[in-house]
Structure 1
């Protein structure tokens, strides 16, 4: 009994301990161990709130950005002023057509500023809210709604070349790689993401990173003519491509996609061989000189899509690691692709990126007309390439028939 009393004295303070003599129902009051901690926590929270309220914010950051030079404006928002103005027209149109319940809180211009700061950097909503002096929820709502507007505009910005445009694109690819009748280059790109809460194993790629796949086709000037984003990173490029609209059009020989039966796109060895999809010849030690030269020419044309992906990630750094819900990630990727195509319509964006070293090779502006000398050189190239390209196509046809048999 004495041992119990000594043990009890460790937890009962004389100030709070009272013997049950006042009332028969009185119980000893045991001191709460958190009684001394709770006031300290409350005081700390109040202090932090007071310091946060008095923390200075940059209320006029939008005006500061507008007053910067062209190159500084580009470095902050990753778009030139002309590209920003073109994008703002799209946002204004959607802003006017939206109802009162879905309008942007801060107006189109400031909402676009918030979105570009989000896409062009790895900044969080909290950091952006501090820069612009708005709440995190406002930043979130504005960014998500601008991204939705850009995705809706993708139908008019990311388009497959028409029959007239395909001829010009084939000439541009001929000047780049030396292979005629190429109207696009296809490849897949992995976008590093935060591990999703469900089915994490499906998004682990061969490098043991959680990614989503971006399948895209681009023209010679690195504009995307087709994109599809959202497939888990564990899926192979060939499987992703077979689920795309382009592959369905290829199977049906759709004249709207390939105005000439000789037109085709180029890809690497991961893609299936098709009459509208040219891939490198497998080198098993028995390639002739013409076949080896064909692979080299095809690689020069195919590297266009790889440069486009480098261009995309170099401009919009948020794509290097996307911390968002898995349902929103495809829209974020598509919005960046839409801005990518808009920016390529203005040569100053290309100049700024070349200064930063993002582009490792010179870019060709879309719609460039060939001079008379270049037209002669083109006819000579077509005449010289006709022989071994025909031989390679016959070799591909032989492989296809053998595979089917």
Structure 2
């Protein structure tokens, strides 16, 4: 197979020093043995430490099983081939390097995003230099976001109906279109913003807030990763396209449905949050909160799975918000592609949401809009109630009729 042949060739030869000049100062060519750090099969023989085993990775990868291939590169072999096919017509700077093809670029970039291996080690593993790995990763992310923009899309029409039906049947919350959550992505001090210290937290670490919206399957429907990690979720939300659309034209965005979020978001008839629990909630409100918690596990599970599969997000070695946002969105795009062939059991995944004060306890916070308060109470009151035949409960534009 062409892909297997390319993988085998990928590590067979080092690039000439003259070709490194395309990417600035030449990095040292690392000729040490390249081994698979994730391989636990070590018989302790001297042959494993012999210099003749430098091509261990190139000899092993082509023989990977279907499951192992996806473990290392996150996507199936067919999906990787599709990536290569669609990205081949694009202009790649690395295409000027003799023997370095689009397949090499895609595989090396997927490996870089999937591991926390230092760039210099990735370069050694792929028999190239660190400058090429870094430059190529930025190029890969840019091309993926340009050519696969439809992989992250807001649910409309049939997709919206499927998501609402999915939340209703699996969680028991009618009228829910999406669920929103967030996590912090560590970054280096940004150099492309006017106030880089705004991205610094109380521990002097820099980060961005990754805010995502998910459908009932945990598929990302909207992603933003450009605002400071120190910002409160409610502030980030208002700065997103979704937040602005809910203020300007909520009907066009939601068609009478709503989003589910945690207590850090402002309650409205378009974004429902849990009831504040001070130990006096009744049975129906507690049941409602449990269902909201189940919905939130979907987005928290997706964020956990995203960072587990694309571990580079735990230590992005990028110093601009533009590059950071591009890399994060690329990982989310690839994750959605991963979900096309895999199911993630979000119930078994640990939550990684940002620990923040509830919105209603902020100095500028409030308990919610009248429409949101009324809608939340109506849903809580309806839980456990048997629906009447041919008479769905309505609220405004029949957000109950799913």
Do they superpose with TM above 0.5?
Answer: yes
Q: Calculate the aligned-residue CA RMSD, in Å.
A: 3.3
- Secondary structure at the aligned position of 1:122 is classed as coil
Change (3 A) 1:107 1:359: farther
**Structure 2: stretches of 5+ with no match in the other structure:** 1-25, 35-53, 350-381, 397-402
What is aligned with 2:129? 135
| Post-superposition CA distance 1:115-152 (Å, at most 9, x none) | 01110111222111211112223222322211111122
**For the residues of structure 2 that align with 1:121 and 1:274, how far apart are their CA atoms?**
40
Alpha carbons of 1:131 and 1:311: their partners in 2 closer, same or farther (altered >3 Å)? same
Q: Within 1, Cα distance between the matches of 2:267 and 2:167?
A: 20
Counterpart of 1:96 in structure 2 is 89
Structure 1 residue 110: Cα displacement = 0.8
> Is 1:302 the equivalent of 2:286?
no
1:249 aligns with 2:245: yes
Q: After superposition, what is the alpha-carbon deviation per residue over 1:220-270, rounded to whole angstroms, capped at 9, x for unaligned?
A: 1110000011211111111000011111221233444213x1x11100010
TM-score normalised according to structure 1 size: 0.68
Alignment counterpart, residue 360 of structure 1, candidates 324, 336, 348: 348
**TM-score using structure 2 length:** 0.69
2:324 counterpart residue number? 329
Report which of the two has the higher share of helix.
1
Cα distance between partner residues in 2 of 1:153 and 1:271:
33
Gaps (5+ residues) in structure 1? 1-48, 362-379, 395-405
Q: Of 148, 173, 177, which residue of structure 2 is paired with 1:183?
A: 177
1:123 matched residue in structure 2? 117
Match of 1:42 in 2: none
Aligned residue number for residue 343 of structure 1: 338
CA contact (8 A) 1:148 1:331 kept: yes
Q: Is it true that 1:165 corresponds to 2:159 in the alignment?
A: yes
Q: Report the equivalent of 1:3.
A: none
Paired with 2:241 and 2:95, the residues of 1 have a C-alpha distance of 33
| 1:1-46 Cα shifts (integer Å, max 9, x gaps) | xxxxxxxxxxxxxxxxxxxxxxxxxxxxxxxxxxxxxxxxxxxxxx
Contact 2:30 2:127 in 1 (8 A): no
Q: Across the two proteins, how many residue pairs are aligned to each other?
A: 312
Q: What residue in structure 2 maps to residue 10 of structure 1?
A: none
Flag the 1:296–1:55 CA change in 2: closer, same or farther, 3 A.
closer
Do the aligned partners of residues 119 and 284 (structure 1) sit closer, same or farther apart at CA in structure 2, a change above 3 Å counting?
same
Structure 1 moving runs of 4+ over 6 Å:
51-54
Kept after mapping to 2: 8 A contact 1:189/1:213: yes
Distance 1:334 1:54, change over 3 A: closer
Alpha-carbon separation, structure 2, partners of 1:243 and 1:324: 23
Distance verdict in 2 for CA 1:124–1:287, change over 3 Å: same
Matches within 5 A, 1:154-303: 154-196=148-190, 199=195, 201-205=197-201, 209-259=205-255, 261=256, 263-303=257-297
Q: 1:206 to 1:52 in 2, by over 3 A?
A: closer
Matched residues in 1 for 2:237 and 2:245: separation?
Answer: 12
Q: Residue 281 of structure 2 aligns to a residue in which SS?
A: coil
